[in-house]
Amino acid sequence: MFTERSILVTGGTGSFGKKFIQHILTNYQYVERIAVFSRDEFKQFEMSNMPEFAGNPKLRFFLGDVRDKERLMRAIDGVDMVIHAAALKQVPACEYNPFEAVKTNILGAQNIIETSIERNVKKVIALSTDKACSPINLYGATKLCSDKLFIAGSVYSGRHNTKFSVVRYGNVAGSRGSVIPFFQKLIQEGAKELPITDYRMTRFWLKLESAIDLVCYAAEKMNGGELFVKKIPSMKMTDLAKAMDPHLRLKEIGIRPGEKIHEMMISVEDARNTIEMDDHYVIYPDAYPSKNKLLGKPVQNDFEYHSGNNNEWLTVEQMKNLINEINNESIVEKPTFRLRVNEAA
């Protein structure tokens, strides 16, 4: 795994980027260079001074935006692998600024594809989201388009033979913008109730380590054109609220525009091209045949995978433990908050 000696991570100062880079530096000593590509100079300054990264001669920091193809061309020069984590991800912000989402999530994706091919990058892995499956909001629609571009990239690369694959997973517990920090803030401010948009609502939840494991697996096994989908547990939003504070009332406020009751990872339309592995699924492209398919069990034609029909569910106690684990990890951005693990559910 990771025979590539030079890696570039777009959105490298985000929660995933920092954790992924720390994982590579710790476990793959022969990696010679990791380039952090992002547009926020202050976050780069903060990251470069974190104990996990300060003074590491393997790290390089590139200021730039995936919308800027010329800057990407310079940053990707000499890179063996690109991990594409940069995106506009906030659903309301994308709805209010739709073409900004298009420019970053779609045009930026195409810039990554074209510069990677032109610079003879060996492998490109793009991060996706459950909102890209049967999307009902602009963020999900732009990420679906991005997924399609990357999946087709392996054919588009022609004789250059750059391989492109996509990794899809659900909500990362504790990441910026997720509901967990939002609930934490309300509790710290003395809220008497927690808002739930719909009592039926469920979501996928995982730790960053699980997402990194799948990216590393994809880096090792990819032949180009695969979409890797992580098997991860679900949780009812009402149970999440209980895990945060079992004594607060819940208030149903109504589903917001662009929200689903259950988030979907694999639609029934994708089933005919999906195989099941031990801890993940692989969706192959429908538009053209893939070479050297991974061995797995085909799913049923009526199969679909969403957070409401999952076989694995988080308990209130498991979520409490997960949140406390996250709060003990300095590399993840979060407000200071502690749950009493032995607190009655």
pLDDT digits (tens, 9 = 90+) for 17-27: 999 999 999 99
DSSP codes of every residue in 148-184: HHHHHHHHHTGGG--EEEEEE--EETT-TTSHHHHHH
Q: Is the pLDDT of residue 232 over 80?
A: yes
Name the active-site residue from 131, 231, 260, 334. 131
Distance of alpha carbon 343 from alpha carbon 345, whole angstroms: 6
Q: How far apart are the first and last CA of the chain?
A: 42
pLDDT of 180 reads 87
Q: Residue 131 catalytic?
A: yes
Give the DSSP letter of residue 104: I
Q: What is the mean pLDDT of residues 328-345?
A: 44
* Mean pLDDT, all residues of the chain: 90
Q: What is the pLDDT of residues 164-209, one digit of tens each?
A: 999 999 888 867 667 888 898 999 999 999 999 999 999 999 888 9
Cα of 2 vs its chain's centroid, Å: 19
C-beta separation of 214 from 168 below 8 A? no
Domains and CATH numbers, the chain: 6-170+205-231+265-306 (3.40.50.720)
pLDDT at 334 over 80: no
**Distances, alpha carbon 287 to alpha carbons 102, 152, 284, 300, in Å:** 23, 9, 9, 20
The pLDDT of residue 343 is above 50 = no
Instruction: Name the DSSP class of 77.
Output: T
Q: Is the pTM of this model over 0.85?
A: yes
One-letter identity of residue 163: K
**Taking a C-beta distance cutoff of 8 angstroms, is the pair 19, 47 a contact?**
no
Q: Is the per-residue pLDDT at 332 higher than 50?
A: no
pLDDT at residue 133 is higher than 90: yes
What pLDDT shows up at residue 293? Answer: 79
Note the pLDDT tens digit of each residue in 279-289.
Answer: 999 999 877 66
